Amino acid sequence: MYRDPSTSSNYDEITVTHYFLEWTVCFLQKNIYGSIEMTLKALKAVDKIVLDGHGLMISSVILNGQELSFEVEPGTPVGEKIVIKSPISEGQEVKLVITYATAKEASALQFMDKELTADKKVMVSI
C-alpha cells in the first residue's frame, strides 16, 4: 500500500469525518489561539492517534470528554508527530478536542506586516 511520505499520521488506521475550528486571530502577536474538534473513526483497532503538527503550543487534549496526555515527537521534514495514546475499537467514532496556540515557527501560517500588502492592511495567509 502507498504511504504518503509527507505525513506521520496514522491516516490509514483512523479517518477524520468532521473538523470544527474555533480561533482567535491575534494580528499583533502574529498567532492564532483556539481549538480544533475532530470526529474520528477507527478503520481498525488502534492504541494511539498520531497527528501532524508544526510549531504548535498544545495546552490540552481531550478525547470523549477525558483529558489525556500526549507527546510531540520528531516526524517528517515538514512537521512533528502529535501522539495521543488511547485505545479505539474498530468502527468506533470519537471526539477529539485539541486546544493550542501557534508558535512563531508555525510555517503553514504567515502574517504579513501591513507595509508589505497592496492595501496596507494586516494580512494572514493560511
pLDDT tens for the chain, residues 1 to 126: 777 777 889 999 999 999 999 999 888 888 899 999 999 999 999 999 999 998 899 999 999 999 999 999 987 776 899 999 999 999 999 999 999 999 877 766 666 677 766 677 766 665
Residue 88's H or E segment, with its range, is strand 79-88
In this prediction the pTM is 0.84
How far apart are alpha carbons 29 and 3 in whole angstroms?
37
DSSP, collapsed to helix, strand or coil, labels residue 3 as coil
Domains, the chain, in order of start with CATH, read: 14-125 (2.60.40.1730)
Kindly state the cell numbers that stand for 89. Answer: 475499537
Q: Would you state the pLDDT for residue 109?
A: 64
Kindly state the cell numbers that stand for 84. Answer: 495521543
Q: Would you state the pLDDT for residue 117?
A: 64
Q: Would you state the pLDDT for residue 23?
A: 94
Q: Which residues pair with 75 in a beta bridge?
A: none
Q: Who contacts 54 (Cβ-Cβ below 8 Å, separation ≥6)?
A: 78, 79, 80, 105, 106, 107, 108
